[in-house]
A = this chain, B = another copy of it.
């Protein structure tokens, strides 16, 4: 939880830095809203039991609810972030960072704007967050749905097979081209020469120069859709250069992205596999952030089909949680689960009343404080508790102190103790805490 809180804080701070407002939508949507938005994964949606009233399902992601919200409220322009849980009926395999309930952190820009400016900002945000989380080196693969469709068209894939072939291409980050080609030809009935032509394209990746090269490609340059996609990518790279992040981005023709609703530029960030520290086990965590442009989704929810172009990104925080937790485990780091700053202790019997008065003073001064819920605790367990929990300061009150109007202030780390006048205690504690 503490690790999660810190990671979410980096993510949300970045979203706010880019001017987004927070938006929260309900956990469930009308079942029909979620139907036919998620391709092959639709079976993973949790439905609610029919207890009278509308048929409801738990949200599968935060994008479709956002689009539904825009359409329902006729919002034409909005920059919002949303950190919330989504639910998928998967068997949980924690090692891959996939759960049945998990957080998604989304940032989206809705509205009709000049091309590629919001899209470039989304990629900049991904870079800022992944750098800010210190996860090691990363790369953002970028492509465009229209380029992939163009490739299929000029290679001679029948349009009825676009979808199936696209999902084969999508596997290229997990299996080799040989295996993908085999699937295309044997399972999906593609002519071998068509598959080979596709292979020539989808094995390419590079920077802005690859975009230029594809513009010159004798076949691809004949396809209108592909040209539009390439034109946008060229502009995108220009803006990414101005943002200082172009070297983190690679034009990767194998990038497909499974979801149905993307219409233009798509992107996916992967951590580079070289572990930062030699003793660390390399983890194949797949993508840690992804997104793209979906100009048609809002229109699907608008009774008159009015479109609102959107582009957005989702940070895969659950995978990031796994990676960071794994790293903490590997290095045996100790993470505090509470933020308690001061423990109120006594070495003597019958001091509960004094401890209660004292701790109320600390709480009222905004100091994070705990005591033992015992009438007459022994001193040693009280000090051990502070060491175990990483509480930095102990205030000790006993007969001697009460008589002299002082409190003993003990540093848990150095075990040093000093007597402090009761009326100066809060100020002294605040001074010590601000110094540490």
Q: Which residues of A contact B (CB under 8 A)?
A: 1-2, 4-5, 16-24, 26-28, 46-51, 53, 58, 79, 85, 87, 89, 100-101, 109, 111, 113-114, 117-118, 120, 124, 128, 239, 242-244, 337-340, 352-353, 356-357, 360, 363-364, 366-370, 373-375
Contacts and interface: CB of A to CB of B under 8 A. Distances in A.
Contact of A18 (B47, B239, B370): B370
Nearest to A363: B17
Contacts of A23: 1
Contacts of A48: 46-49, 58
Contact of A87 (B27, B357, B368): B27
Nearest to A22: B1
Given A46-B48, A48-B48, A89-B51, A337 B21 contact: yes
A27 B124 contact: no
B19 A368 contact: yes
B111 A373 contact: yes
B128 A374 contact: no
A308 to B, nearest CB: 14
Nearest to A99: B26
Which of A51, A53, A340, A373 has most B Cβ within 10 Å? A373
A303 B28 CA distance: 33
Contacts of A363: 17-18, 124, 128
A288 to B, nearest CB: 20
A120 to B, nearest CB: 8
26 contacts: A1-B21, A1-B22, A1-B23, A16-B339, A17-B363, A17-B367, A18-B369, A19-B338, A26-B100, A26-B101, A27-B85, A27-B87, A28-B101, A47-B49, A48-B49, A49-B50, A53-B89, A111-B373, A113-B374, A114-B373, A117-B356, A117-B374, A120-B356, A124-B363, A242-B353, A242-B357
A252 B360 CA distance: 25
A87 B87 CA distance: 15
A53 to B, nearest CB: 8
A113 B373 contact: yes
A19 B111 contact: no
Contacts of A2: 21-22
